[in-house]
Amino acid sequence: MTQFDEWRTRSPYYDESHEALAMSVRRFVEREIAPHIDQWEQDGELPRDLHRKAAEAGVIGLRYPEAYGGHSEGFDIFHTLVLTEELAAVGAGGLSASLMTHGIGLPPVLALGSEELKQRIAPPVLAGEKIIALGITEPGGGSDVAALATSARRDGDHYVVNGSKMFITSGMRADWLTCAVRTGGEGAGGISLLLIEMDAPGVTRTRLDKMGWRCSDTAAIHFSDVRVPAAHLIGPENGGFIGIMRNFNSERLGMAMGCCAYARVALAEAAAWAQERRTFGKQLVGHQSIRIKLADMARQIDATQAWVDLCAWQVKEGRDRPADFAMLKVQATRMLEHVAREAAQILGGASYITGSKVERIYREVRVNAIGGGSEEIMLDLAGRQLFGGTR
């Protein structure tokens, strides 16, 4: 047991089964990921066979239906949080973003898709043989999902898709894209979800370079008269917006847990440095100002983790509400920003040189604060739900 995960032993939400999963995933990370993560960061993507290895280790299919190749029996939402924690140990957010991209691409298919579509898509994804991504954001708009413009016009037993998607995680390697398109009029009521095969004629992709999440391939995707079988419609036509919103809640909870996990990594590296480094004749941690920084970092992490666990319990009990996920995401991203900054201050010049986990985490603060719904959008969403008001 280390400081990295010791907090779970004092929580009412975690038991021996969660620790067993943690140890299993930790061994997988140490064996298959940690030795290679720096190279993957340079490469700008993960190797496809990592998905297969992760599936064999039980990582990809955790809490997905057994009927489609997943592992759901005996697992709860807190096992998912443990998985997020252990994948964060290498200090590279792009790892989870890309390796677990099915976590946002596959749920709409399983929740709303036809049985034929589920049987064809889910098993190879959960076996790590295929990669599925989610396409919502567009060049002309991010968090304003109801204003998306990519169109899908019905033509016999196909839809013809035209438009573009932007900042798509795993967009360069994805085999399938769960894509939000406009099949009806303006606003949320005209949006549908389509499963698009990424090797279809008319699909083009452009790789995007980024400040952080560098081992996660990110793409701009363009559709020019792409013909998509009508059987690839996920849920009812013009009924896709609710599926998108349902997806967002779990994504925001997962991102909040990720912020806690990466903040703990940054704290651990800063604490180790403070105990090893000597300044003015004593350990860095011997200075009161440094101890105050470390304690305040721990305070903010623990407070945020408590809220994450509460929201997870509310999901488990069916007592959750969207406003909580929105506010939690803001709390978590602002906490990570503070912890990453303070960790960098403690490391000093060493934090500005590539190679430390703190340096990498510091560069990934912004993607957490913007992706999955920006802080401003999140607080406005919560304000409208809790206190009323119109758009």
**Residue 390: per-residue pLDDT:** 59
Q: Band the pLDDT of 278: cuts 50, 70, 90.
A: confident
**Least confident piece of the model among 23-27, 200-204, 370-374:** 370-374
Buried b (16+ CB within 10 A) or exposed e, 184-215: eeeebebbbbbbbebeeeebebeeeebebbbb
CATH of the domain at 202: 2.40.110.10
Question: Domain check: are 224 and 250 in the same one?
Answer: no
Average pLDDT over residues 291-312: 97
Query: In the listed set 238, 269, 287, which residue is the last one of a domain according to the structure?
Result: 238
Average pLDDT over residues 324-350: 96
**Measured between alpha carbons, how far is 340 from 358 in angstroms, rounded to an integer?**
7
**Residue 388: per-residue pLDDT:** 87
**Residue 147: per-residue pLDDT:** 83
Query: In the listed set 209, 238, 267, which residue is the last one of a domain according to the structure?
Result: 238
* For helices 77-87 and 288-317, angle between their N-to-C axes, nearest 10 degrees: 150
**Residue 5: per-residue pLDDT:** 62
Confidence check: pLDDT of 1 > 50? no
DSSP state of 354: B
Question: Domain check: are 275 and 358 in the same one?
Answer: yes
Question: Domain check: are 108 and 213 in the same one?
Answer: no
Question: Domain check: are 111 and 170 in the same one?
Answer: no
Confidence check: pLDDT of 351 > 50? yes
Question: Domain check: are 108 and 176 in the same one?
Answer: no
Nearest Cα residue to 297 out of 213, 358, 356 = 358
**Residue 6: per-residue pLDDT:** 81
User: By the 8 A CB rule, do 131 and 123 touch?
Assistant: no
Question: Domain check: are 155 and 289 in the same one?
Answer: no
Q: Indicate whether 217 belongs to any domain.
A: yes
Domain that holds residue 121: 6-126
Question: Domain check: are 261 and 375 in the same one?
Answer: yes
| pTM passes above 0.85 | yes
Question: Domain check: are 107 and 10 in the same one?
Answer: yes
**Residue 143: per-residue pLDDT:** 65
Show the beta-strand stretches assigned E in the chain: 132-135, 151-155, 158-169, 176-182, 191-197, 203-207, 218-229, 233-234, 278-279, 282-283
Question: Domain check: are 214 and 148 in the same one?
Answer: yes
Query: In the listed set 177, 212, 238, which residue is the last one of a domain according to the structure?
Result: 238
Average pLDDT over residues 134-139: 94
**Tens-digit pLDDT profile for residues 4-62:** 568 898 999 999 999 999 999 999 999 999 999 999 999 999 999 999 999 999 999 99
Average pLDDT over residues 277-306: 92
Question: Domain check: are 233 and 310 in the same one?
Answer: no
The structural domain count of the chain equals 3
**Tens-digit pLDDT profile for residues 227-253:** 999 999 999 999 999 888 888 889 999
Rounded to a whole number, what is the distance in angstroms from the first to the last CA of the chain? 49
**Tens-digit pLDDT profile for residues 72-115:** 999 999 999 999 999 999 999 999 999 999 999 999 999 999 99
Q: What residues act catalytically?
A: 251
**Least confident piece of the model among 140-149, 172-181, 375-384:** 140-149
**Residue 242: per-residue pLDDT:** 85
CATH of the domain at 321: 1.20.140.10
Average pLDDT over residues 350-363: 93
Q: Indicate whether 1 belongs to any domain.
A: no
**Measured between alpha carbons, how far is 275 from 269 in angstroms, rounded to an integer?**
10
Q: Indicate whether 76 belongs to any domain.
A: yes
Measure Cα distances from 347 to 18, 273, 334 in Å.
32, 7, 20
